[in-house]
Amino acid sequence: MPTLARVNNIDDLRLLARRRLPRGLFEFIDRGAEDEVSLAGNRQAFDRIAFRSRVLNDVSQRSLRIELFGRELAGPIAVAPTGAVGLTWYQGEIEAARAAAAAGLPYTVSTASITPLEAIAERAPGDLWFQIYVWQRPELADEVVTRARAAGFRVLIVTADAVVPSNREYNKRNAFSVPIRISRRNVGDVVRHPGWVWRVMLRHLLADGVPEFANLPQEFRTDLRGKGSRSLMPPNAPITPAVLHRLRKLWPGPMLVKGVLSADDALLARDCGADGVIVSNHGGRTLDGAMAPIEALPAVADAVGDTMTVLMDSGVRRGADVVKALSLGARAVLVGRAPIWGTAVAGQTGARRALDILLAETDRVLAQIGCSCVADLHRGLLTPRGGEIAWAR
Ligand SMILES: Cc1cc2nc3c(=O)[nH]c(=O)nc-3n(C[C@H](O)[C@H](O)[C@H](O)COP(=O)(O)O)c2cc1C
């Protein structure tokens, strides 16, 4: 794939994806909520942390492998649930899931994805996780969770930080909406990206018809035009203890609550039977002003200790970010946008490139700070940037 020869990092993939995707779709993936304070804050928070390396260690033999819920992973990274992958490449969800499987990493299918979860399980077997939203009639989620269980998904992620629709004003400006409403603006946007029309949209239309949200409860399953559902989709429901107890009964495998920022919520999730939490602010896409997960992580990790698995996401773009998160108590990180950019550029090969870049960078930083494996990481290897010169003030 000639374009990938020029790709050195995740931002290179993002820039290539920006050229390929219609602006409405690119911004839907790339941007955050409202004034994007949390989106920017996620990156700034990582950058405020510096390494205090140990350089006198022998790091010639290294391993990134970890064990997570009884399975060995090639590294401490999983692909986060994202609803838009299937619009960036023909059968993008299958391509991205295959890339994760080939890299030895888990892939999470989102409730909002367009490929039926059964097709992903069949055509991209690997360590598959499933993410569920819960609607105001909680029993609606049962149907979807039961499908995921029957298809062999291993881990259930319950997303708790999307209780109401987010305020993303650029989607309105770009006329990017579901159901799609044809306007001069979005038609012009699509026409300016004929490559995407041919490679993704026309292929999809010819082979499978109008993309459909194939993993919603049958009653509300619609295509992107909003056609097909028998009744109106009820709004998302808050993830209360009662909801978690209900899901716990349905799901025998590991269950994680995603979108947690406070230690108290983590402890509550544990009391409701969750095996772990994902410290996350949805990549800055839901509550603008939500604190950066990397800053919330230490308190959550301290509160739950060894009684729960703590994962984190939001803002991971470099291996150094992975190492910081693990040093602060995460067992692994999830990445959302990074593999989407890879998929948008080159399908499975591009998604694999994104994951390989992150794994290679993580390995390099591990060596540079004097560690041979992720178990060697601890908070003493980190310091607030500039913190140690406070005496000078
Ligand atoms: C385009 C897009 C769609 C997303 N869709 C979902 C979703 O359906 N369910 C969910 O729990 N999180 C969703 N997320 C959030 C991700 O799972 C993850 O929390 C976030 O992307 C992590 O931040 P990062 O993109 O900076 O890695 C989505 C994120 C993006 C960028």
**Pocket of ligand 1 contains residue 186 by CB under 6 Å:** no
Per-residue model confidence (pLDDT) at position 234? 76
Both structure tokens of 135? 């609607």
- Tell me the CA distances in angstroms from 157 to 8, 110, 131, 150, 254, one per residue in order: 31, 9, 4, 16, 9
pLDDT at 130: 98
Tell me which residues of the chain have a pLDDT lower than 50: none
Task: Give 29 Cα–ligand 1 centroid separation in angstroms.
Answer: 8
Residue 343: predicted pLDDT: 98
Domains of the chain: 2-385 (3.20.20.70)
For residue 85, with 0-12 CB atoms within 10 Å meaning exposed, 13-18 middle and 19 or more buried, which class applies?
buried
What pLDDT, on the 0 to 100 scale, is given for residue 292? 98
Question: What pLDDT sits at residue 29?
Answer: 98
Ligand 1 pocket test target in 11, 21, 42, 82 with most atoms within 8 Å of CB: 82
φ and ψ at 177, to 5 degrees?
-145, 160
pLDDT at 182: 86
Distance 325 CA to ligand 1 centre (A): 18
The rounded Å distance from CA 89 to ligand 1 centre is: 17
Cβ-in-10-Å burial (0-12, 13-18, 19+) of 82 comes to buried
CB-based contacts of 67, cutoff 8 Å, min separation 6: 73
Q: In the prediction, which pLDDT does 84 show?
A: 87
319 DSSP 8-state letter: H
Q: For position 389, what pLDDT does the model report?
A: 59
- Is 282 marked active-site? yes
pLDDT tens-place string over residues 191-218 = 999 999 999 999 999 999 999 899 999 8
The response to whether residue 83 sits with its C-beta less than 6 Å from ligand 1 reads yes
Question: What's residue 390's pLDDT?
Answer: 56
Q: Look up residue 337 and give its amino acid.
A: R
What atom of ligand 1 comes closest to residue 281's alpha carbon? 19
Residue 335 near ligand 1, beta carbon < 6 Å: yes
pLDDT tens, residue by residue, 307-353: 999 999 999 999 999 999 999 999 999 999 999 999 999 999 999 99
Q: Which residues pair with 276 in a beta bridge?
A: 256, 309
